[in-house]
Amino acid sequence: MWRVWAALLLELLEYNGSIKMHDGKQGQKDAYELVLDAIDTGLYLPGERLVESELAERFGVSRTPIREALQRLETQSLLRREGRSLIVASLDHNQLAELYAVRAELEGLAAQLAAQHAGAEEIRVLREMVENDRNLLDQPEALARANRRFHRQLHLASHNRYLVQQLDLVHRSMALLVATSLSAEGRSSKAVDEHDAIVTAIEARDGGAAGRALRTHISMAFETRLKLNSTQE
């Protein structure tokens, strides 16, 4: 618990007084984002060692920003030290439960606020995403990427920057989960149906229903994750 919260607190302190606007535009990625993305997309898996010189070569950046990125990721508990090496951290059972609990509440709030504040265009984008996802049901990796975009879009639709920041932190820790829960048998179509229910509630401007639909979605994802883990161990 303390590790997740310590990371949250640290980030809050870091951001104190310097709230960034989230306009959805992606600029040039810095070394930190490159390494984080690589962990998020499973290029580097939990337990794997990260070597400064290899990362610098892979991403075509010099070693100093890579070193700084690794230090930052270590502070945020995404990497852990083992002797002189930095290893991609893994989440234990308790951390997983803690992470999903925070995610369910924060995202539930985001869905509730989105129902109240999202513009008509934003809601149409969410609806379009759900419909497009129905074509990806047999492609878990593509669906996982689409899922991240859907959730990100939903966060932004809340129109609450502090909440968006907190959700960014939660999703950063989600990068440590090895396989997508969407790869589980039968999960992908259920997940898209759950997204559909969330968007339907937002379209109806029903904040309570949107929050509940979102929390149900996260709870189902967590259940799937637990089953997936128990078959792998």
Contact residues for Zn ion, defined by CB under 5 A: 147
Long-range contacts of 41-48 (CB under 8 A, 24+ apart): 42/178, 44/88, 45/88, 45/178, 46/88, 46/89, 46/90, 46/91, 46/176, 46/178, 47/87, 47/88, 47/90, 48/87, 48/88
In the complex with Zn ion, which residue's Cβ is closer, 31 or 156? 156
Residue of minimal Cβ distance to Zn ion: 147
CB of 18 to Zn ion, least distance (A): 30
CB of 107 to Zn ion, least distance (A): 9
Query: In Å, how far are 32, 62, 117 from 123, measured between CA atoms?
Result: 31, 42, 10
CB of 218 to Zn ion, least distance (A): 8
CB of 205 to Zn ion, least distance (A): 21
In the complex with Zn ion, which residue's Cβ is closer, 190 or 205? 190
CB of 195 to Zn ion, least distance (A): 6
In the complex with Zn ion, which residue's Cβ is closer, 89 or 111? 111
d(CA 187, CA 197): 15
CB of 150 to Zn ion, least distance (A): 6
In the complex with Zn ion, which residue's Cβ is closer, 58 or 145? 145
**Radius of gyration over every alpha carbon of the chain, rounded to an integer in angstroms:** 18
Cα within 13 Å of Cα(124), Cβ side: 3
d(CA 180, CA 224): 10
d(CA 136, CA 125): 17
In the complex with Zn ion, which residue's Cβ is closer, 89 or 214? 214
Look-up: residue for tokens 């809050």? 12
In the complex with Zn ion, which residue's Cβ is closer, 79 or 129? 129
